């Protein structure tokens, strides 16, 4: 069993019941992209996935990925082909002879001479040469094409866009009502964006998607407020420059690890497998780098949503991540979470290696102890005895943690009885058990080694 968690993105490629059932065998989290999801995929599908996973005796969490204020090219009657050196005019308002920029009212204020306009993840790039009121005059850097509704980014200028839209608030309420475990917030700029979203989905963990350079600058405060972050490398590359993605990924993982928060690495992990049954060597190295850096979760997007080989892709990701775990060494951090420095939890992590334990049983009425041990990266699986689905959903994005739903136990004695029952059912022979009176900071943990 690998420790790295896997997110798969739902789409037409996994819409059949047979494919969905196979996918749930490998996935820890199913992402539903609310940018494209139909109403039934926002409401009925979550309950279907939950019912399927329950029959498999597995908890698969559900991630609602909110669209955010995605800046796009306005409607065009047909794509516009441009050649290097062609002049193209952009405007935030519908204007004759100009390409409209949607959902970006401050476009003309943010734009500056010398900055670049990128369209569709780099299929066309333009250098701004002049600003005439609301009309932004630019020249094509290379041959390219402008198509309707394609994403648009300003490179070399700060984009002032409100992260949370009214539609996002509505979608967050729908997600909470229909049993989603996690919320993904797009285009986060600051910690205040997350605080604003919490009003619409109180009690749900929020993953801050880091897609803008301004978010990288504010990452320390964002990580403190968010429940986890996603290194969304597609949009982030458009903001910071493709060549700066490796250093930014490393920085974001490091900051999250120090804060004791989970981190997801996303975008093109296995992009070639959307159309090929085999991965590339570069993709395998990318997976290994993410695991070695300390990522908790790896995410597949097009590979499982619209790709030709969704099952092969997720199976290979699991295989490649498992191999990477076998040689990756966990880096040492000073964790901001006090539980990470608890002597008993530290001992549990180190003893799991020394005794070659199969697993560590941990109380998870709040999940705090399981999160702390996950941060310590023990060699054994962490079986978190959770008494609520809310905690199970939260723990789904923590490295090495396998939530197990059990009845409320209250006392250490009752917990030990449950552990013995679960261990026997799983055929576990050597294991550690962490018990405590409470999972709150300052509580006294105890540790026990059992060899059946």
Residues 226 and 144 in one domain: no
Residues 365 and 218 in one domain: no
Q: In this predicted structure, what is the pLDDT of residue 151? A: 85
Describe the strand order of the beta sheet including 445-451 as a list of residue ranges: 401-405, 381-386, 359-364, 430-436, 445-451
Is the pLDDT assigned to residue 345 strictly greater than 90?
no
Is the pLDDT assigned to residue 73 strictly greater than 90?
yes
Residues 249 and 282 in one domain: yes
State pLDDT tens for residues 39-51.
Answer: 999 999 999 999 9
Residues 79 and 187 in one domain: no
Percent of the residues in the chain that have a pLDDT greater than 90, as a whole number: 77
Nearest to 2 by CA among 425, 324, 434, 371: 324
Could you tell me the sign of the dihedral formed by the alpha carbons of 19, 22, 23, 29, in that order? Answer: positive
The CATH number assigned to the domain holding 288 equals 3.20.20.60
* 331 part of a folded domain: no
pLDDT band at 337 (very low <50, low <70, confident <90, very high): low
Cα 189 from Cα 211, distance rounded (Å): 9
Nearest to 411 by CA among 390, 389, 450, 385: 385
Decide if 60 contacts 49 (C-beta within 8 A).
yes
Q: Name the β-bridge partners of 89.
A: 137
CA dihedral defined by 239, 31, 60, 245, rounded to 10 degrees?
-20
* 333 part of a folded domain: no
Residues 211 and 303 in one domain: yes
* 27 part of a folded domain: yes
Is the pLDDT assigned to residue 189 strictly greater than 80?
yes
pLDDT band at 70 (very low <50, low <70, confident <90, very high): confident
Cα 384 from Cα 367, distance rounded (Å): 7
Residues 213 and 317 in one domain: yes
Cα 114 from Cα 149, distance rounded (Å): 24
Indicate the helix (H) or strand (E) that contains 405. strand 401-405
Q: Single out the residue in 97, 121, 155 at which a domain terminates.
A: 155
Cα 46 from Cα 181, distance rounded (Å): 10
* 186 part of a folded domain: yes
**N- to C-terminal Cα distance for the chain?**
21
State pLDDT tens for residues 254-281.
Answer: 999 999 999 999 999 999 999 999 999 9
Mean pLDDT along residues 399-403:
96
Q: In this predicted structure, what is the pLDDT of residue 19? A: 97
The CATH number assigned to the domain holding 91 equals 2.40.33.10
Cα 220 from Cα 226, distance rounded (Å): 10
Mean pLDDT along residues 420-427:
93
Please state, as a whole number, how many other Cβ atoms lie within 10 Å of the Cβ of residue 337.
Answer: 16
Top pLDDT among 131 and 151 is at 131
Please name the residue ranges forming H helices in 141-188: 166-177
Residues 116 and 186 in one domain: no
Average pLDDT, the chain: 92
* Six-digit token string for 329: 């060494």
Domain count for the chain = 3
Helix (H, G, I), strand (E, B) or coil at 103: coil
Residue 421: exposure state from Cβ atoms within 10 A (0-12, 13-18, ≥19) = exposed
Residues 45 and 109 in one domain: no
pLDDT band at 216 (very low <50, low <70, confident <90, very high): very high
Query: pTM of the entire structure?
Result: 0.91
Residues 119 and 100 in one domain: yes
Residue 17: exposure state from Cβ atoms within 10 A (0-12, 13-18, ≥19) = exposed
* 330 part of a folded domain: no
Residues 192 and 50 in one domain: yes
Lowest mean pLDDT among 324-328, 330-334, 390-394: 330-334
Is the pLDDT assigned to residue 443 strictly greater than 70?
no
Cα 433 from Cα 347, distance rounded (Å): 11
Residues 274 and 395 in one domain: no
Percent of the residues in the chain that have a pLDDT greater than 70, as a whole number: 96
* 332 part of a folded domain: no
Q: Single out the residue in 133, 155, 177 at which a domain terminates.
A: 155
Distances (CA, A) of 398 to 155, 244, 351, 391: 34, 27, 20, 12
Q: Single out the residue in 304, 325, 346 at which a domain terminates.
A: 325
Please name the residue ranges forming H helices in 299-342: 302-305, 310-327
Q: In this predicted structure, what is the pLDDT of residue 334? A: 54
Distances (CA, A) of 325 to 221, 292, 366: 30, 7, 27
Helix (H, G, I), strand (E, B) or coil at 97: coil
* 259 part of a folded domain: yes
Cα 110 from Cα 129, distance rounded (Å): 14
Residues 50 and 83 in one domain: no
Owning domain of residue 135: 72-155
Q: Given its phi and psi angles, is residue 57 left (phi above 0), alpha (psi -120 to 50 degrees) or beta?
A: left
Q: In this predicted structure, what is the pLDDT of residue 48? A: 97
* 150 part of a folded domain: yes
């Amino acid at each position: 069993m690998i420790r790295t968690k896997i997110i798969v993105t739902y789409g037409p490629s996994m819409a059949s019941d047979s494919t969905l059932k196979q996918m749930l065998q490998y996935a820890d989290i199913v992402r539903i992209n609310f940018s494209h999801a139909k109403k039934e995929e926002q409401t009925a599908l979550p309950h279907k996935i939950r019912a399927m996973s329950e029959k498999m005796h597995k908890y698969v969490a559900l991630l609602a990925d909110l669209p955010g204020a995605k800046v796009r090219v306005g409607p065009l009657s047909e794509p516009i082909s441009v050649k290097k050196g062609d002049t193209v005019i952009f405007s935030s308002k519908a204007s004759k002879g100009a390409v409209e920029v949607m959902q970006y009212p401050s476009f003309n204020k943010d734009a500056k001479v010398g900055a670049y306009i990128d369209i569709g993840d780099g299929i066309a790039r333009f250098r701004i040469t002049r600003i005439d009121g609301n009309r932004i005059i630019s020249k094509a850097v290379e041959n390219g094409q402008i198509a309707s509704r394609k994403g648009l980014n300003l490179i070399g200028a700060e984009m002032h866009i409100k992260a949370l839209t009214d539609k996002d608030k509505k979608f967050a309420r729908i997600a909470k009502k229909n049993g989603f475990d996690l919320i993904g917030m797009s285009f986060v700029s600051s910690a205040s964006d997350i605080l604003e979203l919490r009003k619409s989905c109180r009690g749900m963990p929020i993953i801050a998607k880091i897609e803008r350079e301004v978010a990288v600058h504010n990452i320390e405060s964002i990580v403190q407020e968010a429940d986890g972050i996603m290194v969304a490398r597609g949009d982030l590359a458009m903001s910071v420059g493709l060549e700066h993605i490796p250093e930014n990924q490393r920085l974001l993982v490091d900051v999250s690890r120090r804060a004791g928060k989970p981190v997801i690495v996303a975008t093109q992990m296995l992009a070639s497998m959307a159309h090929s049954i085999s991965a590339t060597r570069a993709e395998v190295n990318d997976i290994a780098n993410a695991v070695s850096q300390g990522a908790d979760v790896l995410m597949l997007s097009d590979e499982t949503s619209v790709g030709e080989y969704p099952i092969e892709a997720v199976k290979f990701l699991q295989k490649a991540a498992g191999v990477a775990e076998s040689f990756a060494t966990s880096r040492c951090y000073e964790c901001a979470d006090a539980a990470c420095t608890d002597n008993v939890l530290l001992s549990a992590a180190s003893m799991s290696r020394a005794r070659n334990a199969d697993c560590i049983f941990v109380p998870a009425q709040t999940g705090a102890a399981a999160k702390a041990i996950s941060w310590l990266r023990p060699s054994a699986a962490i079986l978190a005895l959770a008494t609520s689905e809310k905690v199970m959903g939260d723990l789904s994005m923590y490295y090495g943690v396998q939530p197990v739903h059990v009845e409320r136990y209250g006392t250490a004695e009752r917990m030990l009885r449950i552990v013995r029952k679960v261990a026997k059912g799983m055929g576990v022979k050597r294991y550690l058990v962490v018990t405590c009176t409470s999972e709150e900071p300052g509580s006294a943990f105890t540790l026990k080694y059992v060899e059946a």
